[in-house]
Amino acid sequence: MPLLPLEMPVAILQTESGSYSDSAAPARAIFIQVDEVILFFLIPVATTDIPHNPAAQLLSDSAALAYRALPNNPSGNYAPAIVSCPASRPSVRRADGLSSNETAWLALRRPATVDPMVEFLNRANISGFDAETYVRNAAAKNLSSLPNIAIAVSGGGYRALMNGAGFLKAADSRVSNTTEAHGIGGLLQATTYLAGLSGGGWLVGSLFANNFSTVETLQAGSSGSAIWKFDNSIFKGPADKGISIVNTAEYWVDVAHQVDEKDNAGFDVSITDYWGRALSYQLINDTDGGPAYTFSSIALTPSFTEAQTPFPILVADGRAPDEKIISLNASNFEFNPFEMGSFDPNVYGFAPMEYLGSNFSNGSVPSSGHCVRGFDQLGYVMGTSSSLFNQFLLSNLTTLNVPSIIISAIEDVLEALGNANNDIAQYVPNPFLNWNGPLTNPGASSLQLSLVDGGEDLQNIPLTPLLQPARHVDVVFAVDSSADTDYNWPNATALRATYDRTLLSNLANGTTFPAVPDDNTFLNLGLNTRPTFFGCNASNFSIGAVPPLIVYIPNAPYTAYSNVSTFTPSYPLSQRDEIIQNAYDGATQGNGSLDAEWTTCVGCAILSRSLWRTGTETPEACTTCFNRYCWDGTTNSTTPAEYLPTPKLNGNVTTTDNSAAQRIGGGGLGMLVGSVAAIAAVLLL
């Protein structure tokens, strides 16, 4: 589905059906080709009456955030629109492989990773190993021999967004100094899949909503925009003039109006609609948070169609009808630019993302059913993956200058759903209605598909999509910002949950996962304070698919105390930047000051499965790395001392009182009283 942007004076624009001209004002033209349909837009070059035009921004030569995801909702606003069904009516496919769209995209992306992979591995300087020859030969002979890289960013609110941002900033060759000695720049360009969950999903969604901009660009912001300005809480609304609203009451009236548009169009709404809209003001660089921007429109952007970015995936959990507590048995759903669904055997199907909200039944839209577009609004998808924060939204609105009519509207939504369901996102109609039979799929007979925060089953790192044998992922860089300990540091609970889930025969679907030690061992051995590799020896997996090597990157203090509470709603921009820098330092191990061979070891992790698959001898330098970073099976389950780490690097640490620093924002739990599922998940998220 190529995107063909053209820019020319309207007066000379010619088409087969005639010419277009407007002597009153110069304009630009955009052609977007989707299959056999060509969409045509005329955009004025200058508009003084509209502060920010999303379509015009697409063609801005100077805007760093141009060519973003598209305002692809036919309604032009937040409400989904009923549209004519295409000749080939939308249908659900069985999850017995990848979609034809993803397969075709991979045929472009995998070769596109070769050059950045070669550049990275050459800089990794693996002694005695000709990385360039190896990679180029693998690519020429069989792309399946080429290392297949994924990055997974955990949940954990803004903490997870900022910590994940620091890792991606370090891994991005477009950011200055990342390709110097000891840098890991280029890892992102060599990556095939990028998955996010909850706060990590905000990061992934925001990058793709803004043309896969660099973290550096999003930190710098955009004139008159609230993009990544976390110093003003989303509960209060943007602080800047221009395209943003500066009054809290006006801001929430505007959010409520957008949600009302969806409600008035005949679609059920939930608190996630309000939460997703609020998120979007900070995450999407467009007027009112881009209410018409859709997740499926990512597939229309030039950077994605040309396979110049990784493949984005967001994760949520399914909640069966009448279910209140989420367990490992919950279905794991993924959202990607082409489709939404689950590889889990109880669902085992994917619906086309663009047509969510259509009247699917038994896997297709019948001739009497309606087709819908625009349901997959970008903020709503990000909100679905982080719906744990619905209760957080409720707690904060009552303390702000929010008009009572808004509070009443949200209370009406709660009353309709039942307070016990305040953490769900409603997908009505259910795209999997009558799909896979009620004995297998517990939600098959329900008109509503209820989805909740992807971390509520304790799998706070979005690994399940990356373990699917059909995706053939070789290595996952798992960035963990979970709040597992008393003071919001991770102890790999998410890894253990994913390992346990692969042991459930009714859900594993051929996936396997490396063994992971208990939480006490993690703390006693310091595995939560540094990168650790899991599953280094592929030969240990004699049953089922060989899982990817897991490079575990836990949130730890390097130059700043980054253990802020999941439920802290705002951050001074200086603190935002310090947390991002702290994670950058973790990703580079202090630019090599903690381990001068870290970049080499990252390169070895990338190559590990490929070397095993091709029967290539492991270079001695990699053996040294694996001896240093691979968990060797040692355990120590004794009760550890209270975990109060100090920064690893001598830098400008903002808080010098270690005791106070460790206890930042520890009161988030109280905000969630009243939501059983949320309380169960807060220790993780």
| 557-581: pLDDT as tens digits | 999 999 999 989 899 999 999 999 9
pLDDT for 626: 98
Amino acid at 276: G
Q: How confident is the model at residue 422 (pLDDT cuts 50, 70, 90)?
A: low
- 575 close to 653: Cβ distance less than 8 angstroms: no
* C-alpha angle 570-572-577 in degrees, rounded to nearest 5: 110
Domains of the chain: which residue ranges? 3-91, 94-682
Of 73-77, 387-391, 546-550, 611-615, least confident by mean pLDDT is: 387-391
Beta-bridged to residue 496, according to DSSP, are none
Q: Over 70: is that where the pLDDT of 257 sits?
A: yes
Mean pLDDT of 486-492: 97
Q: Over 70: is that where the pLDDT of 160 sits?
A: yes
pLDDT for 417: 64
Q: Over 50: is that where the pLDDT of 43 sits?
A: no
pLDDT for 465: 98
Q: How confident is the model at residue 382 (pLDDT cuts 50, 70, 90)?
A: very high
> In whole numbers, what is the pLDDT of the chain averaged over residues?
84
Distance separating alpha carbons of residues 421 and 430, to the nearest angstrom: 17
> Kind of pairing, strands 311-319 and 191-196?
parallel
Mean pLDDT of 104-115: 98
**Consecutive H or E run containing 552:** strand 549-554
Mean pLDDT of 603-612: 98
pLDDT for 327: 84
Q: Over 60: is that where the pLDDT of 42 sits?
A: no
Q: Would you tell me the crossing angle of helices 199-209 and 271-283 to the nearest 10 degrees?
A: 50
Within 262-368, strands assigned E span 311-319, 332-335, 339-342, 349-352
Q: Return the residue matching tokens 């995209």.
A: 105
Beta-bridged to residue 19, according to DSSP, are 14
Distance separating alpha carbons of residues 21 and 42, to the nearest angstrom: 10
Q: Over 90: is that where the pLDDT of 423 sits?
A: no
Q: How confident is the model at residue 82 (pLDDT cuts 50, 70, 90)?
A: very high
Distance separating alpha carbons of residues 255 and 365, to the nearest angstrom: 31
Q: How confident is the model at residue 407 (pLDDT cuts 50, 70, 90)?
A: confident
Q: Over 90: is that where the pLDDT of 353 sits?
A: yes
Mean pLDDT of 493-511: 93
CA 393 to chain centre: 21
Q: Over 50: is that where the pLDDT of 664 sits?
A: no
- 425 close to 270: Cβ distance less than 8 angstroms: yes
Mean pLDDT of 355-363: 97
Contacts of 345 (CB under 8 A, 6+ apart): 440, 506, 507, 509
Mean pLDDT of 424-453: 91
Look at 248 and 215; give whichever has higher pLDDT.
215
Contacts of 255 (CB under 8 A, 6+ apart): 274, 277, 278, 406
Mean pLDDT of 336-347: 97
Look at 176 and 61; give whichever has higher pLDDT.
176
Mean pLDDT of 237-258: 75
Phi, psi angles (nearest 5°) of residue 444: -65, -30
| pTM attached to this predicted model | 0.86
Beta-bridged to residue 191, according to DSSP, are 149
Q: Is the peptide bond before 442 cis (omega within 30 degrees of 0)?
A: no
Q: List the one residue out of 240, 233, 149, 621 whose CA is nearest residue 401.
A: 233
- 603 close to 626: Cβ distance less than 8 angstroms: no
pLDDT for 235: 86
Look at 256 and 195; give whichever has higher pLDDT.
195
Look at 588 and 143; give whichever has higher pLDDT.
588
Distance separating alpha carbons of residues 279 and 568, to the nearest angstrom: 14
Q: How confident is the model at residue 518 (pLDDT cuts 50, 70, 90)?
A: very high
Superfamily of domain 94-682: Cytosolic phospholipase A2 catalytic domain (3.40.1090.10)
pLDDT for 412: 77
Q: Over 60: is that where the pLDDT of 425 sits?
A: yes
Mean pLDDT of 644-659: 65
What tokens does 510 get?
Answer: 């051929």
Of 108-122, 196-210, 350-364, 417-431, least confident by mean pLDDT is: 417-431
3-state secondary structure 102-148: HHHHHHHHHHHCHHHHHHHHHHHCCCCCCHHHHHHHHHHHCHHHCCC
Q: Over 50: is that where the pLDDT of 58 sits?
A: no
pLDDT for 52: 36
Within 197-305, strands assigned E span none
Q: List the one residue out of 198, 570, 164 whose CA is nearest residue 389.
A: 198
pLDDT for 240: 61
- 315 close to 197: Cβ distance less than 8 angstroms: yes
Contacts of 635 (CB under 8 A, 6+ apart): 517, 518, 521
- 552 close to 494: Cβ distance less than 8 angstroms: no
Which sign does the torsion angle of CA 46, 52, 53, 56 carry?
Answer: positive
- The string over 206-220, giving b where at least 16 C-beta atoms fall within 10 Å of a residue's C-beta and e elsewhere, is bbbbbbbbbbbbbbe
Mean pLDDT of 206-231: 94
Alpha helix (H) ranges present in 630-675? 658-662
Which sign does the torsion angle of CA 166, 647, 177, 554 carry?
Answer: negative
pLDDT for 396: 75
Q: Over 90: is that where the pLDDT of 14 sits?
A: no
Q: How confident is the model at residue 660 (pLDDT cuts 50, 70, 90)?
A: very low
What tokens does 50 get?
Answer: 């509209």
Beta-bridged to residue 349, according to DSSP, are 94, 342
Question: Which of 37-51, 550-564, 664-678: highest mean pLDDT?
Answer: 550-564
3-class DSSP assignment, residue 202: helix
Q: Over 70: is that where the pLDDT of 137 sits?
A: yes
- 678 close to 420: Cβ distance less than 8 angstroms: no
Distance separating alpha carbons of residues 195 and 203, to the nearest angstrom: 10
What tokens does 11 get?
Answer: 């007066």
pLDDT for 420: 57
3-class DSSP assignment, residue 476: strand
pLDDT for 408: 81
Mean pLDDT of 46-62: 34
Q: Return the residue matching tokens 């609304």.
A: 237
- 308 close to 112: Cβ distance less than 8 angstroms: yes
Distance separating alpha carbons of residues 60 and 151, to the nearest angstrom: 31
List for the chain the helix, strand, coil content (%; round to 5).
35, 15, 50
Q: Over 60: is that where the pLDDT of 10 sits?
A: no
Which sign does the torsion angle of CA 70, 72, 73, 76 carry?
Answer: positive
3-class DSSP assignment, residue 625: helix
What tokens does 469 get?
Answer: 């044998």
Instruction: For 176-212, write each residue's pLDDT tens digit.
Output: 999 999 999 999 999 999 999 999 999 999 999 999 9
Specify the DSSP class assigned to residue 642. Answer: P
- 479 close to 152: Cβ distance less than 8 angstroms: yes
pLDDT for 293: 96
